[in-house]
Amino acid sequence: MMTVQDGARFDFIVVGGGTAGNIVACRLAESPNARILVVEAGIGTSKDNEEIRTPGLAMEIRGSQYDWAYKTTMVKRDDYERIEKPNTRGKALGGSSSLNYFSWVPGSKGTFDMWEEYGGNEWTWDPLVPYLRKSVTYHDDAGLYPPELKHIGSGGPIPIAHADLIPEMKGFRDLLTRAWKSTGQPVTENIFDGEMHGLTHSVNTIYKGRRSGSFLAVADKQNITILPEVHSKRLIIDDADRTAKGVTVITGTGQELSFYATREVIVSQGVFETPKLLMLSGIGPAPELAKHNIPVIVDSRHVGQHLLDHPGVPFVLRLKDSFSMDSHVLRKGPLQNQ
């Protein structure tokens, strides 16, 4: 583990080296004089980790040391039978971009424009989309797709590309496309300009057979210090103005270390760990904090509430004329024994 001296000061501290935190650190590092610390609970070597970088192992690392492996809470309803299910979240530099299932989509204009009510018009689609595209570089080495798709990402640290078209699945793709067209719905290659409507080929965070992730955004940045395998304990908050001045973390040996930011502390630990850290620091619903004898600094009833997640609806179908992927799955290569 990289060592950082207790009491060290940085311009910025990013608490959580995940999908968003690393991108924030990367952007801050564009100022060559800025000194940035990124603290991360998981490993800091995602870029060189074969389990993480190998796309074919994505399902294998669920529940591994790289996964927080949360469990869903049971819901008791007479009309609804539910068993406990895992909720996979990345615990490694790169966060969930280190073990997700690769799909890269920027979202829809309508969704972003709804944010204006809560955060002002700077968070709507038009001013924000240039920054979405700045984070990635789109590759089409074989020239299979419309050249104008180059605009969806150019010069960013994270490479993206269309998924490989498995030859064995061509018949299925053709039938699926024909069925889709029969409903009158569009087939398109461009769902990246704010209108996500139609059947399209998937763009993934895989390039040349390797997983991409936000860990690439902070790689080899001289003014970014990565401190992995430490758990955040609490934010250091100034009593006078109630602003965060730093963070206290716990190492694998139980040692507590505190670091300070002269400019700003960015909390980016994900949807579960961020509210947990806020509440451990005295920011959250007062009744909940009182249960754990945590002094209240800011009574906010919204912290740790209102989680919404997108649904995933898989379709498993039995085909009359099946299409085999055996030759693809059993192909020769580095993964043949995995």
Q: Does 71 score more than 70 pLDDT? A: yes
Q: Which residues of 200-216 are buried (b: 16+ CB within 10 A; e: fewer)?
A: beebbbbbeebbbbbbb
Among the ranges given (34-48, 71-85, 117-131, 251-265), the one the predictor scored with the smallest mean pLDDT: 71-85
Upper half-sphere CA count for residue 42 (Cβ side, 13 Å): 28
* Predicted TM-score (pTM) of this structure: 0.89
Who wins on pLDDT, 106 or 33? 33
Who wins on pLDDT, 255 or 312? 255
pLDDT averaged over the chain?
A: 91
Mean pLDDT calculated for residue range 191-216: 94
What is the pLDDT at residue 169?
82
Q: Does 334 score more than 70 pLDDT? A: no
pLDDT digits (tens, 9 = 90+) for 277-305: 999 999 999 999 999 999 999 999 999 99
Kindly indicate the confidence band of residue 336, based on its pLDDT and cuts at 50, 70 and 90: very low
What is the pLDDT at residue 324?
59
Exposed, middle or buried by CB within 10 Å (0-12, 13-18, 19+), for 139? middle
Q: How far apart are CA 263 and CA 240, in angstroms?
A: 17
Mean pLDDT calculated for residue range 196-212: 94
Mean pLDDT calculated for residue range 88-114: 94
Kindly indicate the confidence band of residue 337, based on its pLDDT and cuts at 50, 70 and 90: very low
pLDDT digits (tens, 9 = 90+) for 52-63: 999 989 989 999
- Judge: domain 103-204, CATH 3.40.50.11540: no
